[in-house]
Amino acid sequence: MTFRIQLLETAHCFDAAPGESVLEAALRHELRLPHECRFGGCATCRIKLVAGTVDYDEFPPGLTTDEAAEGYALACQARPASDLVISAARRLPPCSEPARHTATVTAVRPLGDDVLHLALELPPEADLLYRAGQYINILLPEGGHRSFSMASRPHPQALDFHIRRIPEGRFTSGHAARLQPGDRLPVELPHGSFCFHAEDYRPLLMVATGTGLAPIKSILESLMDDDDCPPVSLYWGMRTEADLYLHDQIQAWTDRLCDFRYVPVLSRAGAGWSGRRGHVQQAVEADFEDLSEHAIYLCGSPAMIGDARRAFLARHASIDHLYSDSFTFQSTAAA
């Protein structure tokens, strides 16, 4: 059965075919709803059901039962069970429309045992405007692409990335390992709706695992030396002390961010580590009884994001002030 969906903010109406998700139906009708991972892990596509009901083939990991009970759904997985009225309100700063360019490699260097720093430069005519927290698609010569978040303050031409080497990864262990300054890469950008929401006026709780630090670093660099910067707490989860590839640099941010607190957390710490141990979301739980006043940014593995969302909502975090960007990795074998 075909169901009718109305978008509350614009009054646009579109049909969902049998078995089609809300997001699939919207994109087929060229309506751009915010989305990222498309497997229900990041919750970027969260919508509010104003009227009607939805079903899921499997309940998505990026949604809690409490959220569902309050009328929220994930558009990428939700299949209409009736006609719907949905709200997808999310205020975002302006940015350029996604476009293809040819970027030039300006630097490639190791940041750690399995992380590369890649610097690219766009041609002047790109005239790029992007939001801190967004990502780029690097187009592969054999087809397809790989996505990486910008890791520095927005700039119309200069772009930085943290690229984790994945065993048998088509790009990270193949093309990226052979890049040299002067090489040219076809890219498409900007993409993504993960970004800083200045209108929240709340203390910031930034939680990252691995190279999920990159978009959070971009956001925090955009706030440095800003008199309107809110208080910032950064929790960064890694396995070992050697994996903390920007540890010293982050500690130097104290004088450039408001009331900045940095908490590295190691899941496989050695005997000499005197800092926090365990999983990063557990460290946040131990430090905060009540998260109702914070704007929370989660970036990293889908497992961390799912666990953190459930734990933080149980500590009264506001659903409307919880933003996430889920990082997934693909090897040649998986591809």
CATH, residue 115: 2.40.30.10
Instruction: Please say which residue of 152, 174, 191 terminates a domain.
Output: 191
Q: Are residues 38 and 137 in the same domain?
A: no
pLDDT of 162 over the 90 cut = yes
**Residues 317 and 226 placed together within one structural domain of the fold:** yes
- Residue 60 lies in domain: 3-87
φ and ψ at residue 84, rounded to 5 degrees: -130, 150
Whether the Cβ atoms of residue 280 and residue 236 lie closer than 8 Å to each other? yes
pLDDT of residue 212: 96
Residue 335 confidence (pLDDT): 31
Give the domain CATH number at 74: 3.10.20.30
Please determine, for residue 298, whether its predicted confidence score (pLDDT) is greater than 80. Answer: yes
- 140 occurs within a structural domain: yes
Question: Could you tell me which of 51, 55, 47, 52 has the C-alpha nearest to residue 87?
Answer: 47
**114 and 230 fall within a common domain:** no
Measured between alpha carbons, how far is 151 from 128 in angstroms, rounded to an integer?
15
Report residue 42's pLDDT band, with 50, 70 and 90 as the boundaries: confident
Q: Which residue has the higher pLDDT, 51 or 32?
A: 51
The amino acid that residue 173 corresponds to is: S
- Least confident stretch, 52-61, 73-82, 294-303, 318-327: 318-327
314 shares its domain with 215: yes
Q: Go through the chain and tell me how many residues it has.
A: 335
Does 65 reside within a domain?
A: yes
- Given a cut of 50, is residue 329 above it in pLDDT? no
Sole residue written with tokens 């699939």: 24
Q: What is the reported pTM?
A: 0.83
Residue 59 resides in a domain: yes
pLDDT for 213-252, tens place per residue? 999 999 999 999 999 999 999 999 999 999 999 999 999 9
Q: Is the pLDDT of residue 6 over 50?
A: yes
The predicted structure's pLDDT at residue 209: 97
Whole-number CA gyration radius for the chain: 20
Instruction: Look at residue 67 in the predicted model and tell me its pLDDT.
Output: 87
| Rounded Cα distance, 175 and 137, in Å | 14
Average pLDDT over residues 112-116: 90
Q: Read off the pLDDT of each residue in 205-219 and give the average, rounded to a whole number.
A: 97
| DSSP designation for 202 | S
Domain annotation covers residue 334: no
Residues 29 and 46 in one domain: yes
Claim to verify: residue 203 and residue 187 sit in the same structural domain: no
Residue 14, pLDDT above cutoff 80? yes
Number of domains in the chain: 3
User: Percent of the chain at pLDDT above 70?
Assistant: 97
According to DSSP, residue 151 is labeled: -
Assess whether 319 and 210 both reside in one domain. Answer: yes
% of the chain at pLDDT higher than 90: 75
Q: What mean pLDDT value characterizes the chain?
A: 91
What does the alpha-carbon distance between residue 105 and residue 118 come to, in Å, rounded to a whole number?
7
Contact 60, 309 (CB under 8 A): no
The model's confidence at residue 35, banded by pLDDT at 50, 70 and 90, is: confident
Pair (170, 228) in one structural domain:
no
Q: Can you list the pairs that 200-204 forms with residues at least 24 positions away whose Cβ atoms lie under 8 Å?
A: 200/295, 200/321, 201/230, 202/230, 202/293, 202/294, 202/295, 202/321, 203/230, 203/231, 203/232, 203/233, 203/293, 203/294, 203/295, 204/230, 204/231, 204/232, 204/233, 204/294, 204/295, 204/296, 204/297
Q: Of the candidates 159, 191, 223, which is a domain's last residue?
A: 191
Within this chain, do residues 208 and 303 fall inside the same structural domain, yes or no? yes
> Are 76 and 146 in a shared domain?
no
In a domain, 93, yes or no: no
- Examine the fold and report which residue of 191, 207, 235 is the final residue of a domain before the chain moves on: 191
Same domain, 60 and 159: no
Task: List the single range of 103-112, 139-148, 183-192, 297-306 with lowest mean pLDDT.
Answer: 139-148
- Token duo for residue 204: 């910031």
When pLDDT is cut at 50, 70 and 90, the band that residue 169 belongs to is confident
Contact 76, 44 (CB under 8 A): no
More confident residue, 127 or 250: 250
Query: pLDDT higher for 32 or 324?
Result: 324
Do both 244 and 166 map to the same domain? Answer: no
